Structure formats: structure tokens, C-alpha cells
Amino acid sequence: MHDFHHVKGELWCEDVPIREIASAAGTPLYIYSHRTLLNHFRTFDQSFAQVPHIICFAAKANSNTAILRLFAKEGGGMDIVSGGELYRALQAGADPGRIVYSGVGKRTDEIEFALTSGILMFNVESPQELRAIDECAGRMGKKAGVALRVNPDVDPQTHPHISTGLKENKFGINIETSFSEYLRARELVNLDIKGVSCHIGSQVTKMTPFIDALERLKDLIGRLRAEGINIRYLDLGGGLGITYNRETPPPPSDYANAIMEASRELNCTLIFEPGRVIVGNAGILVTKVLYTKTNEGKNFVVVDAGMNDLIRPSLYNSFHGIQSVSANVKGEIVADIVGPICESGDYLAKERKIPAFERGDLVAVMSAGAYGFAMSSNYNSRPRVAEVLVKGAGYYTIRKREEYADIIRGEEIPDFLKS
């Protein structure tokens, strides 16, 4: 569910017309619904109310500090994958004791930053990383909380680029060798082995992969406890999908009931890392039609948002619903919606039946709250767009639109080129 709806044919976010926001903030821009974000987080959190748990929002899905602040105020933790995301989380007021640090390529300075900040634990991706964390903690006189990210070799049945739990994926430590790695980790004196971690992929729309992974982890936890390794946390990652088109993912309540039933006797604090399921349908990208054209009978709608603003369609061939912001657009056509980037892969929709947009019309690209702005870039030297948060009848700029000066900030011309 989300709070983007039509009033007399016009698209609104909560109690504000989208056209009003676009007129004030310009296009392209991202618009998020505060009510939807809050409802989605609370629904997920409350679904696990019966068991000890921490909801660590996946900051990579949408890392705007205002969004992170909203979840931190609800008691949420953060799942981070870089020093930059840790900095964002701390700036947003997140409790470091509820932060888990994932990712395959943690640098030494990032590990030190996390140790200084007092995060809950690292989700460790390799034996070399484990030793690097132990060495950092030793130099700093600290104990580093760790969990090994176990790769359960479970097919999440999602897009190959966002599958992370198979043997051929770069993530984690193979489940067959993880037991012996835990035994080696026990010998590293600067580590506090706190848990077991797993993340099988993103945009998963079936329960079976989650339960299959959990069953494999339960066996590992039993073996570790038999060796005297006190596992207190089980991090099951994120990955629960949303509806972009015709997908029918399980609702958080069904997901929670299945997980709680399968983990009933584990006596662990459960950690979850939801991202897309919280923010995906809470945001849209609004763009303006610059031109329409027809080549050899094929229709194109050229808009002012490109693959640098929303790369998911180009990168994953992902579907995003297309809606008209105005009630005045009549009729339908089959067309590609393309952007201004000098790449043939620059599109937001291909061969899609869409409203018969004309020059100047506003287009809403739906379900863009996750991995939208977070994956945007300055490609073609395009300033990154504004982000706006709507709350009731008010709206707030939570990221200013970049100016041309912003895109060269940090660059320098050496003296020998100045003459």
C-alpha cells in the first residue's frame, strides 16, 4: 500500500498534488510519502513483536539522512555497507549499537571507523576480512562483534544481478566451510562471535527460499553451540520483494509468521535488513516530457529524467509503472519512454502502453523509492535531482537539486594546464 492516489484524475501524494510540488521544486525529482514510509516500517517491525528482534534498515536502498532519521526515531537500526553509510546513519541519529556492517570489501579505515563508533557487529564475508578485523581491534584495544555471513547456496529465484546466496555469487562464506571458519575465529582473541548472518538476494517474492536458508542455518547454529560458541544473533538479511508489476510477494505478516515458526526454538535475537519492502513503493520519480517523436512507426516520449537518475530499467530491465500526473492526458499509445543520456540503453519504459503524453506533460515513474536516487550519478555531467518528503499537507526538500558548480566540486586544473 502507498499514499499516491488520484483526486479527480490528478495524482497526489498524501494531501498534496504532485503538480504543485513539481512546479515548486522543478523536474526531475524524487517524491516520498512520510505516511507510507512510517506505515511500512511499523508494519514490518510489529509483525515480529512476539520475538526479540532488530529491524536494521538497509541504508543502500535509500540513504537520504531524513529517511534514515525517520527510521531511527522509530527505534530502527541500520544495515550499512560502507564507511559513508555509517557516517550517514550516525548523522541521522541511529544507535550504533543497532548497526550491522555488511559488504565484501571493507577497508581498514572503514573497519576502524566502525570500531570507534561502537557498532553491534560486522557481517564478515571472508577469512581474510575476519583477520583484518581482528588485527584492527587488537591495535585499538577493542573487541569486535562479528557474525560470519554464511552463503547457504539457496536459489532466491530473482534477477541474477541481485541474487547473493548461490555458490557462484561473490558474497559470504560457503556453508560447508563456515563451521571450520567459526572454529578458527574462536582463536582470534580480539573478536566477540555474536551471531550468524545470511542474505540470499533482493526482490525475492516467494517464502520457500527464506525458509530453506533458515533451515540450513539452524543446523549450523546447533553445531556451533555444541562447540561452546555462544550464538546470540541470527541476521536473516533482507530481500523481501514488492509489487512493481504483477509480482505477488508475501506480506510482511506472512513472512514474519513463517520465520518465527521456523526459528521458534533457536533462542536468538533476530535481525532483519529490509530495504526495498519499506521504501520501494513509498517513492516516485517525477519527470517532464521534453519532446515526442516517431521513427519508422515507433513512438518515443523523451523526458528530462535519464538512466543517471533511475538506472534500474537499463541495468536490470526492471519494470516501473507509468502514470500521468494530470487528468488532461487522453488516450493511449505504445511507446518507449527515453531520457536525454547519450546511450541507447537510456530508457524508463520500453514498448509500453502508456498515456498519450505530449510536450510539457508530467510523468510519474512509480515504485522508485528504493535504489532510485541511491544509484543515481552525474553521468553526462547532469546534476543530481532534488528529493522531497511529503507529510500530510506539507512538503519538505530533503535534498537540494545540484547546480553545475556542484558537479565539478573537488576537481582541480593543475598549474601547468592554466597557462
Domain regions of the chain by residue span: 4-31+280-407, 103-272
Relative orientation angle of helices 83-91 and 108-117, to the nearest 10 degrees? 30
Torsion of CA 7, 8, 11, 12, to 10 degrees: -20
Q: What confidence tier does 162 reach under pLDDT thresholds 50, 70, 90? A: very low
Q: Please choose, from the candidates 117, 115, 113, the residue with its C-alpha nearest in 3D space to the C-alpha of residue 93.
A: 117
Is pLDDT above 80 for 15?
yes
Is pLDDT above 80 for 155?
no
Is pLDDT above 80 for 204?
no
Say what the pLDDT of residue 377 is. Answer: 98
Say what the pLDDT of residue 199 is. Answer: 84
Is pLDDT above 60 for 264?
yes
How does pLDDT run across 348-401, given as a tens digit for each residue? 999 999 999 999 999 999 999 999 999 999 999 999 999 999 999 999 999 999
Q: Please choose, from the candidates 234, 228, 223, 222, the residue with its C-alpha nearest in 3D space to the C-alpha of residue 194.
A: 234
Partners of 373 in the beta sheet? Answer: none
The CATH code for residues 4-31+280-407 is 2.40.37.10
Q: What confidence tier does 154 reach under pLDDT thresholds 50, 70, 90? A: confident
Q: What confidence tier does 99 reach under pLDDT thresholds 50, 70, 90? A: very high
Could you tell me if 348 and 382 are in contact, meaning their C-beta atoms sit under 8 angstroms apart?
A: no
Cell of 54: 532488530
Cell of 406: 556542484
Percent of the chain with pLDDT over 90: 83
Half-sphere exposure of 274 toward its Cβ, with a 13 Å CA cutoff? Answer: 26
The C-alpha atoms of residue 66 and residue 82 are separated, in whole angstroms, by: 18
Q: Please choose, from the candidates 220, 222, 207, 203, the residue with its C-alpha nearest in 3D space to the C-alpha of residue 258.
A: 207
The C-alpha atoms of residue 191 and residue 188 are separated, in whole angstroms, by: 6
Mean pLDDT of 109-125: 98
Half-sphere exposure of 182 toward its Cβ, with a 13 Å CA cutoff? Answer: 28
How does pLDDT run across 173-188, given as a tens digit for each residue? 888 899 999 999 999 9
Is pLDDT above 80 for 166?
no
Whole-structure pTM over 0.75, yes or no?
A: yes
Does CATH number 3.40.50.1360 belong to domain 103-272?
Answer: no
Is pLDDT above 60 for 45?
yes
Query: Which positions are catalytic?
Result: 342
